[in-house]
Structure 1
Amino acid sequence: MKQVIIASNNAHKVQEIETALDFEGWEFKTLRQAGLDSDPEEDADTFLGNARIKARAAHELSGSAVLADDSGLEVDALDGAPGVYSSRYAGEHGDDAANNAKLLRELANVPDEKRTARFVCTLVFIDEDGTELTARGTIEGKIGYEERGNEGFGYDPLFVPDEFGGELTLAQVSQAQKNSVSHRGNALRALRKNISETLK
């Protein structure tokens, strides 16, 4: 059995990764499940840099294969903000309501055609022997004018992807529908291909 430690304690993330990387004999564990306490400072200015910081810290602690991700929202009218600061855009880490409220304020006078945005996910996988593989996934869309839907988290209630007719937010579709088009889903599909070609 190959143990892969996910540099996160997010159960939803683990579920999505297990489904996408269902290689025979692979077992995924969160940091907590693996008995690890790893919380390095994510001070890089790119998603790839932050994912690499998390992956290398977990790999050094465990010696196991590890997988880390960093993701966020890039809004074109805000020159790519909130970017790597997506989870703490309004100041406090993980305050979805405050982050969404700030984003709506920042875009208050921005017309529909200029509200284009994308979610970005970068993955860094480090195998037991230190081999590093990376993958990137995006989903294009626009920022709506109000929060809609209860299914997602973060900026999902404001993000209207080009898929689903450009009518529904990511918080108005099922988790399965979201996974089929999401930035993390796209990054995981790219990583699966990379692992299959490089390591298997």
Structure 2
Amino acid sequence: MRSVIIATENLGKFREIKTLLADEFDVFHSLRDFEEKVPVDEDSMLYIENAMKKARKVGDRFGMYAIADDSGLEVEALGGRPGVRSSRYGRSDDERIERLLSELEGVPWEKREAVFRAYLAFYLPEKQRCYVFYGELKGIIGFERKGVGGFGFDPVFYVPEWNRYLAEMTLEEKNVLSHRGRAIRAFKDFHNVRFFRNPTVHRL
């Protein structure tokens, strides 16, 4: 049985990753499945370092393959904020969205460009090795919420190529183009490549 821990308590993120990796593992765990909490201080200003730290700590503690991602929304008009601190931009998704829209008040459509970035770390405790994969999605921050799906900033993230907001898409549609979906597809492609000694970033 191939088991893996997805190092998150965010059920939306867990569901997305599990759906994309359904053919790669037999059993999926989230951090909610364990009584013991494994605190990880994501104090780096680099996504890649936070993802690796989280995957390593969880994988070593439970002795299982571990997958962790660190992702964020970077808005050009805000100088790249909220960026790596996206999850700490507010106490809830609603609060984070309200703050974002408030800070962008008066900014015209053509200057509301943004990008979602995701770094996915896969850790093998028996080899003490960590592999990192990258994905991104460019779009525009809308003026109001649209759709009822997804989580996080999805209701205000407009994807021009699809003429829809992420929250208006099904999970399957979102996984095709999302930053996290692209990082996970890069990870799946990596399965046919030999392991490297040092952490390596793979892009899709």
TM-score clears 0.5: yes
- Count of matched residue pairs: 194
Give the direction of change, closer, same or farther, for the CA distance of 1:171–1:23 in structure 2 (3 Å limit). Answer: closer
**What is the one-letter code of the residue matched to 1:60?**
D
Aligned residues: CA RMSD: 1.8
Amino acid in structure 2 at the alignment position of 1:37 = K
Q: Secondary structure at the match of 1:157?
A: helix
The normalised TM-score by structure 1 is: 0.88
Residues 164-179 of structure 1 aligned to structure 2 (within 5 Å):
164-165=162-163, 168-179=164-175
Which residue does 2:100 correspond to in 1? 103
Structure 2 partner of 1:146: 144
Q: CA separation of 1:195/1:24 partners in 2, compared to 1, >3 Å: closer, same or farther? A: closer
Q: Which of 109, 112, 130 is 1:112 aligned to?
A: 109
Is the Cα–Cα contact under 8 Å of residues 133 and 195 in structure 1 kept in the other structure? no
Matching residue of 2:67: 67
Which of 179, 184, 190 is equivalent to 1:194? 190
Structure 1 position 25, deviation (Å): 5.6
Q: Is the CA contact (8 Å cut-off) linking 2:12 and 2:151 kept in structure 1? A: no
For 1:190 and 1:162, the matched residues in 2 are separated by 23
For residues 136-171 of structure 1, the C-alpha deviation after alignment (integer angstroms, 9 at most, x for no partner) is 111110000111111122111110013313xx2111
Could you tell me how far 1:36 is from its partner in structure 2?
4.3
TM norm structure 2: 0.87
Give the distance between the partners of 2:46 and 2:54, measured in 1 at CA.
13
- 1:133 is matched with which residue? 131
What is the deviation of 1:12? 3.6
Which of 158, 179, 198 matches 1:160?
158
Q: How big is the shift at 1:31?
A: 2.5
Q: Does the Cα contact within 8 Å between 1:36 and 1:61 map onto a contact in 2?
A: no
Deviation (angstroms), 1:37: 1.9
Classify 1:44/1:25 alpha carbon distance in 2 versus 1 (closer, same or farther; 3 Å).
closer
Kept in 1, the 8 Å contact 2:52–2:130? The answer is no
The alpha-carbon distance between structure 1 residues 31 and 96, as it changes in their structure 2 partners (threshold 3 A), is: closer
8 Å CA contact 2:55–2:122 kept in 1: the answer is yes
